[in-house]
Amino acid sequence: MTVRADPIAGRYELVDEIRSGGMGQVWRGYDAVLDREVAVKLIRPDVVYSAARAEEFARRFRREARITARIQHHGVPQVYDAVLDTTYDRVYLVMEYVRGTPLRAYVDPARPLPVGWAAAIAAQICTVLSHAHAIPVVHRDLKPDNVLVSDTGAVKVLDFGIAAILGTDVTRLTGTGHMIGTHHYMSPEQIQGGPITPQSDLYALGCVLHELLSGRTLFDGANDFQLMRQHVDEPPPPLRRLRPDVPEALERAVLALTAKVPEQRPRDAYDVYEQLLPLLPAPGSAPPQRGHLPAGVPDPTLMYRRPNAPRPRTPTPPSATPPASRPACGDPATALRAAIDDAVAHSGDLLVQGRYTQAAEALWQVIEPAAAALGVDHPRVLSLRQRRAATLVIGGDVRRALPEFDALHTAFARTGGPADHDALACLRQAAHCRAELGEATLALRQFRQVLTHVQATEGDVSTDALELRRDICRLLLSEGDLGQAAAELVPLHQDLALLYGPGHEETREIAEILTRLRITGDGTR
């Protein structure tokens, strides 16, 4: 049944409503231009309410959609388009249409899922996460409602990047004191407002696997606040108490995935896959007995012959430092100056268009000849490399940017000293990259190193100092060091209140985190 007579953007016709949820409605649609079925998500109207908000959303969508599109894996439906109504009261995301059975249909406390089935589903999710986290893209809202199983048993993970696009991945207190967010699968650091990393997705995966095997959620608090406290403070119930036939190795894997501190969880999705591999049916084996499983539910083990294994783990790429050469005498040639100016201008134009990979490549093309002519430590060469590394970060490619910022920090410190402005800027950028990649301990150390220099020259309440103090507090929350986080959040809140007033957005954000700490029972008052 066609509900909308006029196609959206002149090409997308809405046919049937598939489902509705917290972010909006999803429709099966038809793309008249490309002659294919599509899924059209109508984002809830309160996301966009003005022209300025629409422009902000469009910029965020284009960036996140481009990053998400780099997940080259058949288990990730692609996002094709974003359409903003001219009245700014409706936003449509157009995506690949996937036919399948929601994973929620597999959860039934009266009919526990066979261990092999649960392992096959989790292992396939691991293959998807391994490709996404290598970029890195973090799902932020992994749950049974966002997973489909196709008729062939292939797992499809939906809505990658949607939480980041909408800016709804962090639980917040509303004016009435109610919480917004999905609490049954939310990691402790997510609840506390800390950085969201690949380990946050692994925690959600642990919650999903526990639910598939036991038929019940990891925690069953009577309300959202109780659920949050359980995720932050209470140890998860061992699976074998709920279901004795679960193998001990699988119980240990789920307990590791649901560790409170991110760095105590498995290193990555590849490690989790390796733990699940012995539990999967062997190639060529007969399908397991369906037993009491619901009729029509696809068997996730049928297609599992390991053609969909995770991508091989690759080492951290080396810094893109050009080869050393003898510095040229005198000023660089006119042709080289012109080439550098053209490359910077062209890269800037590409950035405006959101073509980040090409913008970084345009700079790299001139960095090599510039280094050969001027020397690798020449200020112009280092400036070009710094611009390129920043471009990689803007494009979401922090894994490639990190070694370059490390190398640049060393180069600037060598030429200008450890307190050099550019050296500290690169060290700070390296810390941000590490925080996003889940390397919280080293990121925290680097942020503190930069803060020490900033406090010595600018004081404790400069703009840079306040930003660094916030970054440090978020990482402390991520590591589960709630006492130290509270000890640093309280004076930060006091300083922000004095500088900006208690009603300022930044002041209220810190007050909100302190409120969460009290809710979860760390004793802060």
Report residue 294 as tokens: 């619901």
Distance CA 406, CA 402 (A): 6
Residues 55, 74: contact at Cβ < 8 Å? no
Q: Cα 132 from chain centroid?
A: 9
Distance CA 439, CA 195 (A): 11
Sign of torsion, CA 268 155 60 396?
positive
Other Cβ atoms closer than 10 A to 54: 19
Distance CA 121, CA 293 (A): 15
Q: Assess whether the previous peptide bond of 136 is cis (omega < 30° from 0).
A: yes
Residues 58, 51: contact at Cβ < 8 Å? no
Q: In what order do the strands lie in the sheet with 147-149?
A: 101-102, 147-149, 155-157
CA angle 35, 38, 43 (to 5 degrees): 140
Ramachandran bin of 16, using left for φ above 0, alpha for ψ from -120 to 50, beta for the remaining angles: beta
User: What stretch of H or E contains 217?
Assistant: none
Q: Is position 141 annotated as part of the catalytic site?
A: yes
Q: Classify residue 301 as exposed, middle or buried by CB count within 10 Å of its CB (0-12, 13-18, 19+).
A: buried
Distance CA 211, CA 258 (A): 12
**Helices first, then strands: H and E counts in the chain:** 18, 10
Find the catalytic residue in 6, 46, 89, 141.
141
Residues 24, 44: contact at Cβ < 8 Å? yes
Tell me if residue 93 falls in helix, strand or coil.
strand
Distance CA 350, CA 346 (A): 6
Going by the DSSP 8-state scheme, the letter that residue 293 receives in this structure is S
Active site residues: 141
